[in-house]
Amino acid sequence: MSKFDKIVYQIYPKSFQDSNHDGWGDIRGVISRLDYLQDLGINYIWFNPMTVSPQKDNGYDVKDYRSFDPRYGTMEDFEELAKEAKKRGIDIMFDMVFNHTSTEHEWFQRALAGEEKYKNYYIWKKGKGPGVPPNNWQSKFAGSAWEYVEQFDEWYLHLFDVSQADLDWTNPEVRRECADIVNFWRSKGVHGFRFDVINLISKASFEDDPFNFDGRQFYTDGPREHEYLRELNRASFGQDEDHLTVGEMSSTTIDNCIQYSGADCEELDMVFSFHHLKVDYHNKMKWELQEPDFMELKSLLTEWQVAMQENNAWNALFWNCHDQPRSVSRFGNDGKYRRESAKMLGAALHMLRGTPYVYQGEEIGMPNAYFTDISEYVDVESTNIYDILLKEGKPKEEVLHILQERSRDNARTPMQWDDSPNGGFSDVTPWLKSASSYPSVNVKADRQDADSIFAFYQNLIRLRKTMKVVQEGWFSPLLEENRQVFAYRRDLEAEHLICVNNFYEAETEITLPLEGYEILSGNYPDAVVKNTIRLRPYETLILYKKD
């Protein structure tokens, strides 16, 4: 399968469409919206986990890898979904969470019951002393990364929530189990797999971290990581010539990602990396706010584009996902220039070299939730950090503002279909409160506009599908020193494309050699091609010529 012309649409199932009046999105709700997705033009739907889970971490705490949580539906519902999607030219990508399981998973429960086989599925260590964990590593959800189990007088590792016990990938039985799970879903017609925090599965050692105290240097991109991925490839998805795979890479490096997604490395098709989504972290700390460092953003996007193409490796392109605040609120202007900045961000991303991912609601410019009380938040990371920041002495108003900017719940509010109660997501109270923007920002309202954000995304997708220069063209940066414009070109034989993006409300003037170029797309209807162009607020231009 060619990855060059594919576009993936991410669905957060709890929040997409409720069909059975319980306030929780479900499989049949997705079936009811397949025509919408076909109209958008996407090739794949990536689903966040829908398997049985206690939902301590919104499904990333898996209790059973092979059964759907009844709140989402049944295996028969899914089989109908896969069949109906295929009729519309859409394949399915599933989330595989293989770094850890829920502590309610049968394997962990059997470990607690004393079965040595299953105890060896997880990472257990003796403490340094009574009540002292094996090392000083911190969980990514705050607090120690270790939990004590009295009956063993040992601690198990949980890099995430205490209910998410890390699997021990040095155990070949664990690796076989994971391959079997992938093959089970392949038998159900799933061709795509997104592997959650997959670069954390190889732990190098279990020393104290003398620097950051989070331990990430000891468990990120570990010594056997590439070996494990090649083995998983050969034992499962690599047997399917139509597969499409992506790895979520936490705190990774370009050098490792070149190996993960290199054309001849036999690991994964592409990688998610997050460096470009930390440019508004003050001191690189998620919960410390600052305005985005635009020059750092440009530099990172360019660095990854250039290094990956020079080594024949492949990026997954994204601004938004279930773990990130909404890009139009973060890098654009979700007030006066919401439409213009949403389109600009779409163009800036979709014309890059890689596979674009569209997160539900991005195609209509959904903004952050802007909740005003902690009771409105559900995400465990958000509620944990709220308590921590208050204990550090930050005023409640400041902490709530930080959550408004950073909480993962910003991405998880229900999809906004129309201006009816709860945005048409459900006719009962949803699992997470709808964002207050839904009466004006919704699919129905956007599509009534002839110059809609949705139509703009349709065109971006059409360009990707039909133009070889977009799919495979060589990336070269332009205007690298410009402090408010991200511009680049793509070249493939006689075809040339230039994408110019003003990331700010202030107008600015640029000069480029544009003789012979025509406008393929833009977010202002009266744009004209000249060598010197005055870019308006958040203006984007996609220009093309053929020799």
What pLDDT does 58 receive? 84
pTM value is 0.95
What pLDDT does 547 receive? 94
Q: How many CA atoms does the CB half-sphere of 97 hold within 13 Å?
A: 25
Contact in structure between 178 and 232 (CB atoms under 8 Å) = yes
Of 146, 166, 186, the position where a domain reaches its end is: 166
The verdict on 13 and 88 lying in the same domain is yes
Q: Is 461 among the domain residues?
A: no
The verdict on 131 and 82 lying in the same domain is no
* CA–CA separation, 2 and 243 (whole Å): 9
In three-state secondary structure terms, 439 is: coil
CATH number of the domain to which 160 belongs: 3.90.400.10
Give rounded-to-5 percent helix, strand, coil for the chain: 35, 20, 45
Q: Is 350 among the domain residues?
A: yes
The verdict on 259 and 347 lying in the same domain is yes
The verdict on 237 and 136 lying in the same domain is no
Low-confidence residues of the chain: pLDDT under 70: 1
Q: Is 463 among the domain residues?
A: no
Q: Is 82 among the domain residues?
A: yes
Of 422, 456, 490, the position where a domain reaches its end is: 456
What pLDDT does 142 receive? 80
Q: Is 523 among the domain residues?
A: yes
What pLDDT does 380 receive? 84
Domain count across the chain: 3
Q: How far is the CA of 385 from the CAs of 54, 287, 381, 403, in angstroms?
A: 21, 8, 6, 9
The verdict on 181 and 159 lying in the same domain is no
Number of Cβ within 10 Å of residue 311's Cβ equals 17
What pLDDT does 481 receive? 97
What pLDDT does 249 receive? 93
Contact in structure between 277 and 286 (CB atoms under 8 Å) = no
Catalytic residue list: 196, 248
Q: Is 294 among the domain residues?
A: yes
CATH number of the domain to which 493 belongs: 2.60.40.1180
The verdict on 146 and 276 lying in the same domain is no
Q: How far is the CA of 192 from the CAs of 119, 183, 187, 269, in angstroms?
A: 31, 11, 12, 10
